[in-house]
Amino acid sequence: MFECLPFEVLLEIFHRLPLKSLIQFRCVSKSCNSLITAFIDSSLTRSHSDSNKLIVRYLDVKTHVERYKLIHEDSDNNDSLSEQIQDLEFPLRSRCDYFQLVGSVNGLFCLYEENRFILWNPYIRKYITLPNPSVTGLFPCYLALGFDSRNNDYKVVRIAYQLVKIRSLGAKPPLVEVYSVREGSWRITSGGDSYPPKITISNWPHQAASLNGAVYFPANDWGEAQSSVVLSFDLGDEVFRVISLPNGKFKLDARIGTSVFKGLLSLICYEHRHMGEYYMCSVKSCSVWVMKEYGVVDSWTKQFTIDLDMQYWKVLGFWKNDHMLVQKMQLHGSMLFSYDPESQQVNNLGFYRSTCYSYSYADNYVENLVLLDKPNDVISKKKVSNKRKCR
């Protein structure tokens, strides 16, 4: 059928086809299946983002179940919101409480609990359980999911601080290991050698941002700067770099999160009336800063500030149309809002629940074929390299 065409031509044809058609064509013949599998392997960035859909994760504290839904933003009538909501089947159950959400990139989710890592693609309804990490032991770990555009590969990053105070000048650098979806195994990298001294990743719960082949953590510089910074880890050359923030704007332990706004590295920055546990405290306002020119500190620009004066709330992310997704906690439950920073209009998206529900994540819904060539819940049989313990 396709065998007589050059692979470059097939790639162009496959790129023009809807993703559902590609899935169906895999069943035509073994040769079609092989060709489409090769296409997926060479085109992991292949995805389709529907700007009118948002994927929302929330937790049921009473039943210890996490749920996912798709919602549409194009409804201004709250009475018809129920018709704009679609339940997504979540195929996993946590062994303990809830999965920690490491992050999502191009429709691929990474979840974690007790050294158990899961990659899940809700579009094709597939997930895999990763092999056990190489580094074992009790120590602080920071996690991220990102896309290595240089090597066309999705990667999970695990930064393990060793049992020495990282703030001190002679502290041991962390051990850094990376799981490659393409290779199917963990690998301890030399990334720790480039880890800057007296830098610690913020403990404030927020998923690391992924952009331009790197992942970005909010962090603190305990050296002379004594300020908040952004710590990046390049997934291609596996090197850490520090990105400074506007001078004097962000002190140590500032409540900031890294994000992506209009394709640019951005910060979501909270100003509180009083300090509380994590983000669930009295929030006065939230500002969004954008780095207009990557790597240039002077290009940090305050994009806008929202002053909704909600007592308990947090920003979950951005729609494709640059509206902000905001979660508000009320006496009897949670509400999800869309906020337009230009018109300052607030649109109630519903999802009013009892107090046992809490929204923890929202992002644009992306259709992707990653993991299509892998069976469900398979642990890679490839050898886990460089097995070692943290001392």
Per-residue pLDDT tens for 44-54? 555 555 556 78
The per-residue pLDDT for 79 is: 44
Quote the pLDDT of residue 166. Answer: 57
User: Residue 310: is it exposed, middle or buried by C-beta count within 10 angstroms (0-12/13-18/19+)?
Assistant: buried
Residue 43: predicted pLDDT:
57
Element at 11 (helix H, strand E):
helix 7-16
What is the separation, in whole angstroms, between the first and last Cα of the chain? Answer: 57
The two beta strands, 185-188 and 175-180, are antiparallel
User: What average pLDDT does range 301-313 have in this prediction?
Assistant: 75
DSSP readout, 86-144? Answer: EEE------SSS--EEEEEETTEEEEEETTEEEEEETTTTEEEEPPPPSEESS--EEEE
DSSP SS3 for 55: strand
What pLDDT sits at residue 157? Answer: 97
Q: What is the pLDDT of residue 344?
A: 82
User: Is the pLDDT score of 294 beyond 80?
Assistant: yes
What's the average model confidence in pLDDT over 132-144?
83
**Stronger pLDDT, 65 or 127, i.e. the higher one:** 127
Of the two residues 74 and 328, the one the predictor is more confident about is 328
Residue 165 or residue 24, greater confidence: 24
pLDDT of 312 reads 67
Tokens of 266: 């951005």
DSSP annotation string for 341-357: TTTTEEEE------TTE
What does pTM read for this prediction? 0.83
Q: Show the tokens assigned to 138.
A: 């009790």
The pLDDT value recorded for residue 352 is 55
Q: In the prediction, which pLDDT does 272 show?
A: 65
Q: What percent of the chain has pLDDT over 90?
A: 30
Specify the higher pLDDT residue, 146 or 140: 146
Q: What percent of the chain has pLDDT over 70?
A: 75
User: Which residues 6+ apart lie within 8 Å of 170 measured at CB?
Assistant: none
Alpha-carbon distance of 336 to 261, in angstroms, equals 20
Q: Flag the least confident range among 13-17, 87-91, 96-100, 286-290.
A: 13-17
3-state secondary structure of 22: helix
The alpha-carbon radius of gyration of the chain (Å, integer) is: 21
Query: Which is nearest to 288 in space by CA: 313, 261, 308, 262?
Result: 261
Query: How high is the pLDDT of residue 58?
Result: 79
Ranges 7-16, 241-250, 334-343, most confident: 241-250
Rounded mean pLDDT of the chain?
78
If you average pLDDT over residues 82-102, what whole number do you get?
79
For the four alpha carbons of 292, 298, 303 and 307, in that order, the dihedral sign comes to positive
